[in-house]
Amino acid sequence: MDGIAVRSEDTWGASEQKPVTLHDFARLNTGNVIPAGYDAVIMIEDVRMTGEAAVIRKAVSSWQHVRPAGEDIAESEMIVPSGHRIRPHDIGALAAYGFVDVPVLTVSIGIIPTGTELVPAGIRPLPGQVVESNTVMAKAWLTSLGATCRSYPPTPDEPAQIRAAIRNAAAENDIVIVSAGSSAGTRDFTAQVIAEIGEVLVHGIGIKPGKPAIIGRVESVLVIGMPGYPLSALTVLREVIVPLLSRFGLPVPDPVILSAELTATLYSDVGTCEFVLLSIGNIRDRWVAVPLSRGSGVQMSGVRANAFLRIPDELEGYEAGQTVPVELLVPRSHAASALLVTGSHDPSLDHLAELVGAGGVFLHSSHVGSMGGVLALKRRSCHAAPMHLLSPEDGEYNLPFLVKYLPGEEVTLVCIAEREQGIVSRDHLSLPELPGHSFANRQKGSGTRLLLDYRLRELGIDPASIPGYDRELTTHIGVALAVKAGEADAGMCVYSAAQALGLPFVPVGKERYEIAFRTADGDDQRMQALETAIVSSEFREVLSHLGGYDTRETGVRRQVP
């Protein structure tokens, strides 16, 4: 306390009626050591100073407002025992008690990339080559959890070289991770090599992705075979390797789990624990979970996911609408700021994500086609649905479909842009020229497909005359890529997708690309951020740069009914 140090016996008898005047005392500030000879402190507010004397009106007991030495910690006492995770305030305490260097536990992990086809990150791979990125992910992850990681140079698919690499890494680390080569393919030697120089404990785990994982040991060193597909590697890291770190004493963050309503039925094999990446979002206090692509080669599913679902091995899956426990991959506040946009794909959605992202809103878009978006909006499994659905009856866009599928509901449409659809090809093909040329189509229910079917009918062209008409891709860019790669002669997409890949484009028509949401959700902060982004000058510049967009209607609202 700020005040005066006194001898308590000098204060005895003091009262309002009978003040005591002290001559022997010492001024103190909070935290000062009490000078020898004094045994109590009186707050400065309770003292009246008169010249060199102090007048008090209340007796004090000994050791009043005096904290004992060693109340915090004393010589010979232990600050933290072994196994204690040193947190920031522990660092503060250690510093306060004189410790500026503390030896700490670490787990040393050696990471060996294998594969003759690997090139390091930053080098553009030639056809048949693969960028070595899984060990980059593993190192970033394990280092962030407190492990000390050593990356070894890539090892070609040669048993002798893999053997030497594992032996060398096992001599220098507590755990060795061998990236790729763990499958049963002709060039997968990891399990064989571990068996030769140590012991394979497990080869193949009932998880998906990640099934080909290996757990083995070379003497006392754990050797883990991490599969090569990025999402398999991610899953094995999370489900096998990170829990191991916990057993080694490193603190692993607790999972954050919440209940969400699944938007699609997921089938799973009994006997395999399957992990499905999700985009989750909160719609009117209800968590909704949209499953992402389950292909283990689709690395972007991991990037796009903000949560995942574990389907236990005893279940055959979960049904759409079921409430399931999902584990977050982002802070909860980020998940709460997710804006679920489900429906028709357009390259400009990425840029809307960029614009709202700067303001703390996370736009998650699922490309299920315009009709898929209408149905998702109807089921309340998205916030907003981008669409371009041409009504064959009246040539009107979008409105008739909302009236039909969400009868009686108040829905708002905001125009993103009017955009040009057309035929993408390597040879300037036009719509009437399609018969006889191989084609990469969009999925049924997409607005592009509807438009194409409509125009072919107008022209009297039989889709059966176009080979590949049944091959369905889900994005404009996907169609343009198939054309560029020579897998198809032509496809239909928006101008910006053709332009992005430098391909010729022959216009078919202009259409109204709008985003629909329930009018009542218009005051949601995330929807407002989206509308602000749509009408911003930055977005107009983006559209003009992408090309093929007419922005005269951009931002125009329409109401249903």
Positions in 115-174 near its own copies (CB under 8 A): 121-122, 124, 127-128, 130-134, 136-138, 140-141, 144
Instruction: Kindly state the smallest distance separating residue 284's Cβ from its own copies, in Å.
Output: 22
Residues touching its own copies: how many (CB under 8 A)? 118
Nearest to 419 by CA among 330, 515, 354: 515
Our CB check for its own copies shows the closer of 135 and 398 to be: 135
- CA 328 distance to own-chain centroid: 8
Applying CB under 8 A, which part among 426-434, 444-452, 494-502, 504-512 lies near its own copies?
A: 494-502
The residue behind tokens 């787990």 is: 107
Question: For 70-175, where are the alpha helices, taking DSSP H only?
Answer: 88-96, 134-144, 159-172
Our CB check for its own copies shows the closer of 57 and 187 to be: 187
Instruction: Kindly state the smallest distance separating residue 178's Cβ from its own copies, in Å.
Output: 17
Instruction: Kindly state the smallest distance separating residue 23's Cβ from its own copies, in Å.
Output: 22
Contact assessment for residue 363 and residue 530, using Cβ atoms and an 8 Å cutoff: yes
Applying CB under 8 A, which part among 215-223, 243-251, 267-275, 421-429 lies near its own copies?
A: 243-251
Instruction: Kindly state the smallest distance separating residue 272's Cβ from its own copies, in Å.
Output: 19
Instruction: Kindly state the smallest distance separating residue 384's Cβ from its own copies, in Å.
Output: 16
Please list every residue from 334 through 373 that binds its own copies, using CB under 8 A. Answer: 334, 347, 350-351, 353-354, 356-363
Q: Please state whether beta strands 221-226 and 266-267 pair in parallel, antiparallel, or not at all (unpaired).
A: unpaired
Alpha-carbon gap, residue 164 to 397, rounded angstroms:
65
Q: Please state whether beta strands 472-473 and 439-442 pair in parallel, antiparallel, or not at all (unpaired).
A: parallel
481 in contact with its own copies (CB under 8 A): yes
Our CB check for its own copies shows the closer of 355 and 560 to be: 355
Residues in the chain, how many?
561
436 in contact with its own copies (CB under 8 A): no
Our CB check for its own copies shows the closer of 198 and 478 to be: 478
Q: In the sheet that 148-151 helps form, which strands lie side by side, from edge to edge?
A: 148-151, 108-113, 175-179, 221-226, 214-218, 199-203
Please list every residue from 523 through 552 that binds its own copies, using CB under 8 A. Answer: none
Please list every residue from 281 through 340 that binds its own copies, using CB under 8 A. Answer: 293, 295, 297-300, 302-303, 328-334
Instruction: Kindly state the smallest distance separating residue 197's Cβ from its own copies, in Å.
Output: 26
Please list every residue from 181 through 200 that binds its own copies, using CB under 8 A. Answer: 183, 185-187
Our CB check for its own copies shows the closer of 94 and 197 to be: 94
Our CB check for its own copies shows the closer of 223 and 481 to be: 481
Please list every residue from 42 through 101 that binds its own copies, using CB under 8 A. Answer: 62-63, 67-85, 87-93, 95-100
Nearest to 23 by CA among 68, 43, 67, 53: 53
Applying CB under 8 A, which part among 12-20, 33-41, 283-291, 553-561 lies near its own copies?
A: 33-41
Indicate the residue type of 146.
Answer: G
Nearest to 435 by CA among 398, 399, 489: 489
Our CB check for its own copies shows the closer of 100 and 464 to be: 100
Indicate the residue type of 42.
Answer: I
268 in contact with its own copies (CB under 8 A): no
Determine which helix (DSSP H) or strand (DSSP E) holds 245, and give its type and residue range. Answer: helix 242-247
Please pick, from the candidates 376, 477, 508, 516, the single residue that binds its own copies as defined by CB under 8 A: 477
Q: Please state whether beta strands 338-343 and 362-367 pair in parallel, antiparallel, or not at all (unpaired).
A: parallel
Please list every residue from 390 through 429 that binds its own copies, using CB under 8 A. Answer: none
Residues 6+ apart with CB under 8 A from 97: 73, 79
Our CB check for its own copies shows the closer of 30 and 220 to be: 30
Contact assessment for residue 373 and residue 450, using Cβ atoms and an 8 Å cutoff: no
Contact assessment for residue 439 and residue 488, using Cβ atoms and an 8 Å cutoff: yes
Please pick, from the candidates 246, 322, 544, 559, the single residue that binds its own copies as defined by CB under 8 A: 246
Applying CB under 8 A, which part among 382-390, 404-412, 482-490, 548-556 lies near its own copies?
A: 482-490
Indicate the residue type of 332.
Answer: R
Instruction: Kindly state the smallest distance separating residue 408's Cβ from its own copies, in Å.
Output: 36
Our CB check for its own copies shows the closer of 176 and 483 to be: 483
Our CB check for its own copies shows the closer of 103 and 460 to be: 103
Structure tokens at 275: 């992990």
Instruction: Kindly state the smallest distance separating residue 141's Cβ from its own copies, in Å.
Output: 3
Please list every residue from 215 through 234 that binds its own copies, using CB under 8 A. Answer: 228, 230, 233-234
DSSP conformation letters of 359-415: TT-EEEEEE-HHHHHHHHHHTT--SBEEE--B-TTT--BSHHHHHHHSTT--EEEEE
Indicate the residue type of 267.
Answer: Y
Applying CB under 8 A, which part among 192-200, 309-317, 483-491, 550-558 lies near its own copies?
A: 483-491
104 in contact with its own copies (CB under 8 A): no
Instruction: Kindly state the smallest distance separating residue 498's Cβ from its own copies, in Å.
Output: 11
CB-count exposure of residue 490 (10 Å: 0-12, 13-18, 19+): buried
482 in contact with its own copies (CB under 8 A): yes
Instruction: Kindly state the smallest distance separating residue 341's Cβ from its own copies, in Å.
Output: 13
Our CB check for its own copies shows the closer of 185 and 392 to be: 185
> Which own/partner pairs from 469-474 qualify as long-range (CB within 8 Å, at least 24 positions apart)?
469/439, 469/441, 470/441, 471/439, 471/440, 471/441, 472/441, 472/442, 472/443, 472/444, 473/440, 473/441, 473/442, 473/443, 474/345, 474/367, 474/368, 474/369, 474/442, 474/443, 474/446
Contact assessment for residue 66 and residue 72, using Cβ atoms and an 8 Å cutoff: no
Our CB check for its own copies shows the closer of 79 and 315 to be: 79
Instruction: Kindly state the smallest distance separating residue 120's Cβ from its own copies, in Å.
Output: 9
